[in-house]
Amino acid sequence: MQSVVTISFFFRYFTCQKQPGSLDHEVQDANTFASWGVDYLKYDNCYNDGSKPELRYPIMRNALNQTGRSIFYSICEWGIDNPAEWASNVGNSWRTTGDITDSWQSMVTIADLNNQWAAYAGPGGWNDPDMLEVGNGGMTLEEYRSHFSVWSLMKAPLLIGCDVRNVSKKYIDILTNVEVISVNQDSLGVQGKKVSQQGVSGCLEVWASPLCEGRRTVLLWNRCSITDSIIVRWADVGLQPSTVVTVRDIWQHENLPETFTQSLEVEVRQHSSKMYILTPLFKAEEDIQ
């Protein structure tokens, strides 16, 4: 496996740790990063000079481009100026929110904030709801599975935020689920989004994303405090109700034993989720992409 060199650097006067920043030294620093073989630059917003991010961030973009090295440029201005609206020609990803913390409430709040920018993401430019908290210990195993699932469906950068030297196997199993990661890396590159809210309080949710070859990913997410059933209806995910599909559970790594039309209803435990890939047995031209 080819290694990837990642560096976090910070804007203007100081880094977030009050080390020297890059004010007026963007070209010098970009050349240094390229000489080190850096592949990924996260450019943070601490101790900035007060100028607008739309003016500040292109300076480092230009400097990186001039190095001749392909370096992924991660803009991290904390969603202050709605970067989804302007950053697609500046960086390869942009933070849409403030910092995540290792808690259920923080995770679901940030998922909702990132969801509103789904239409702005696509190949070459991605909404970034901040790093994964899987393995840090503040959520349950089921909550972490939901966290990893929705980040994958949203095509978010899957940046591991725990200490991989000491993380236990149960978390590694989440972080290395190839079938879930394949949703994140699907060649169509369409960010998934929330398509349905059910139940009295609306905390039973369906998230969905089209995949290549006419497939759909669906996430049935129970954000309630009790177990309940969630229904995904084909019309909500861009399929004609008559479409016959096979259903694969990509956490259990198995196909459901029958085919389905119109909808799928599943019981989901509290703060848990089910993630499936729907594959039409034939391509219906009427299906909505």
29 is catalytic: no
Residue type, 6: T
Distance CA 122, CA 236 (A): 21
Which residue type is seen at 194?
K
Please provide residue 188's backbone torsions phi and psi, each rounded to the nearest 5 degrees. Answer: -65, -35
Query: Among this protein's residues, is 99 annotated catalytic?
Result: yes
Place of tokens 């109700």: 241
Burial call 33-64: b when 16+ CB within 10 Å, e when fewer: bbeeebbbbbbbbbebeeeebeebbbbbbebb
| C-alpha distance from residue 24 to each of 21, 28, 144 (Å) | 9, 9, 41
97, 110 Cβ separation under 8 angstroms: yes
Which of the residues 44, 102, 128, 186 is marked catalytic?
44
Looking at the DSSP bridge assignments, the partners of residue 278 are 216, 247
Query: Phi and psi (nearest 5°) for 242?
Result: -80, -5
Amino acid at 197: Q
Residue from 287, 131, 269 nearest 208 by CA? 287
Single-letter amino acid, residue 282: F
Q: How many residues does the chain have?
A: 289
Residue of 29, 39, 49, 99 with catalytic role: 99
- Of 259, 255, 261, 258, nearest in space to 277 by CA: 255
Q: Are 98 and 79 in contact (CB under 8 A)?
A: yes
Residue numbers annotated as active site: 44, 99
